[in-house]
Chains A and B, each alone.
Chain A
């Protein structure tokens, strides 16, 4: 069974600073994908970044990068130059890739608050 653990219920960061949100995972699958989503108070789930287990390079999408350490089973999200609009819940998720099934397993989330 797959499991995602996010140990930080809440994080605070000042505007323009970088912040790292932690995510560890557990799976017996050899091929899997890791996701980060942002959920503002409006409720929509916004895709941020994706990393396949086969990727040797860390994924980057603008101000977002995923620090993927396969041996440690961690997939931390790094947000550089935080903005006030980054205040939201952040979810780490994973899915296995071999079957094609689209089921995501989510962590409990981290609430990020960016202060001026």
Chain B
């Protein structure tokens, strides 16, 4: 079974540009969540999508957005990039739901390393 796939692996952008990152979850997983990892702030939750709906959001500005498609694949978009947006962006997928132990685990992809110059 293929794992969580994130593309691209590396991105270099300049301030003011926008960027779109992609995440394909493990087959059958319905929930996709996104995290930002920086040396200063560590790992922080961005948002979660389930059945094409955002159902939870972290404390990030509106420049950070995302969506989920009917096949559970997800994209996140960052507009008007700032230097501080340079980070490793990680996507995680899970079966989601409650009452079933198998639904409780989250699995991550390899991440997209974004550098903003």
> Could you tell me which A residues sit within 8 Å of B by CB distance?
33, 35, 37, 42-47, 50, 52, 91, 93, 95, 97-106, 108-109
Contact = CB atoms under 8 A, between A and B. Distances in A.
B113 A103 contact: no
Contacts of B97: 100
B111 A45 contact: yes
B113 A43 contact: yes
Interface of B: 31, 33, 35, 42-43, 45, 48, 50, 55-56, 58, 88, 90, 92, 94, 96-98, 101, 103-111, 113
Contact of A102 (B42, B106, B110, B113): B106
Given A47-B108, A108-B42, 19 more contacts: A44-B109, A45-B92, A47-B107, A50-B104, A91-B43, A95-B104, A95-B106, A98-B98, A99-B98, A100-B97, A101-B56, A102-B56, A102-B96, A103-B33, A104-B35, A104-B45, A105-B45, A106-B42, A109-B42
A33 B48 contact: no
Contacts of B88: 43
Contacts of A108: 42
Nearest to B42: A108
Closest 4 CB pairs of A and B: A45-B108, A44-B110, A106-B43, A100-B98
A50 B45 contact: no
A101 B98 CA distance: 9
16 contacts: A33-B104, A35-B106, A37-B108, A43-B88, A43-B110, A44-B110, A93-B43, A95-B106, A100-B96, A102-B31, A102-B48, A102-B92, A102-B94, A104-B33, A104-B43, A108-B42
B111 A47 contact: no
Contacts of B101: 52
A37 B109 CA distance: 12
Nearest to B107: A47
Contacts of A44: 108-111
